Amino acid sequence: MVRILPMASSLRPSISSFRFAAASRLAHSLTSYTPTRRLPSFHLGFAVPQAQFFGLNTSKLWQKEHNDTIRVAINGSVAQASTTTSPENILEWVKKDKRRFLHVVYRVGDLERTIKFYTECLGMKLLRKRDIPEERYTNAFLGYGPEDAHFVIELTYNYGVDKYDIGTGFGHFGIAVEDVSRTVELIKAKGGKVTREPGPVKGGSTVIAFIEDPDGYKFELLERGPTPEPLCQVMLRVGDLDRSINFYEKAFGMEVLRKRDNPDYKYTIAMMGYGPEDKNPVLELTYNYGVTDYEKGNGYAQIAIGTDDVYKTAEAVKLYGGKVTREPGPLPGINTKITACLDPDGWKTVFVDNIDFLKELE
């Protein structure tokens, strides 16, 4: 994927272990989607400057309806089909698409140490693990339930790389627990770092605490009753909150679940997702007054989201100001269809076909 200089080990933030044969010879590949079956791997994209992608004049992209010719397989034969798309019907389709958060991907310097911390201190389960020695990386999937129904973490360990720059743009992950104080005491007993002691959130009543994992990734512990999705938040900082809300609503089909401005501390947050906060994972977007750009580092990679149609998803991303970094289609050698994109701030998301994802888990 990309190389940390002067180290020789390449970075693999993979959502997969697939790689393009040609791209495998390049040192700038960023990430991939990992199926469970043992198949050849193909890289999904390349590291490129993020700011150059935006400021697009999207109105010019859709001055009139146009026809897209797609190839569809019918009873083993291939036929031509034509579909007419427009901003209106793409937006309507996005609202109806069956989407959910699949997993969040990031890199760690000691996989066994991180697995031990997450399972013993945060109560996660190791769902699966995959070593790819020929590519010099290992993936581990952890969470609070099976991947076909829960939002999970995908950790990537690159051989020989023991430290990453988390940057200033990534904020934290959120974990819902029934007793924050008890969880904090357990974490302390295991040698974990607590950066904010349990107590009510500023301006509210929800009890929270902040901790750091062994690599410095921050986790916010939120006191809640039983929930089907304990892994409940990914917080990212953005440079223009209204722009980001517009993009995630229209291109990603998310809803603004709540928005809160805190002028005393000079920030505004917007919670966005595909259902109520207490039952679904959400994306927490944070705007700090006057800050328009952040360093993303090389630790955090991306979120993966399920979709019924990666082709229409890519159209919506392009239409509403995003950048498609991996054109939609099946990965070479298999039928898993994906597309990868960047939002207006350069945060990466990979969309995976829902049916193909379930087949891979089988």
Binding residues for Zn(2+): 154, 172, 220
Which of 147, 220, 284, 315 is the catalytic position?
220
Which among 297, 306, 280, 18 has a CA at the least distance from the CA of 139?
18
Cβ within 8 Å of residue 202, ≥6 positions away: 262, 265
User: What is the Cα–Cα distance from 34 to 360, expressed in whole angstroms?
Assistant: 9
Closest CA to 294 of 350, 254, 343, 246: 343
- Smallest Cα–Cα separation from 15: which of 154, 144, 137, 112? 154
Mention every residue, 6+ apart, whose C-beta is less than 8 A from residue 190.
117, 120, 121
Q: Judge contact between 19 and 32, C-beta under 8 A.
A: yes
The tokens for 181 are: 């104080």
The token pair that represents 110 in the structure block: 């000691």
Max Cα separation, the chain? 63
Name the DSSP letter for residue 190. Answer: T
Separation in Å, CA 85 to CA 61, 88, 91, 269: 12, 8, 10, 33
Tell me the residue type at 123.
G
> Any idea what DSSP says for residue 274?
S
Alpha helices, H only, 176-264: 180-189, 241-250
Taking the alpha carbons of 144, 106, 294, 321 in that order, is the dihedral positive or negative? negative
Buried b (16+ CB within 10 A) or exposed e, 132-168: beebbbbbbbbbbbebeebbbbbbbbbeebeebebee
Does 220 participate in catalysis according to the annotation? yes
User: How far is 250 from 255, CA to CA, in rounded Å?
Assistant: 9
| Catalytic (active-site) positions | 220
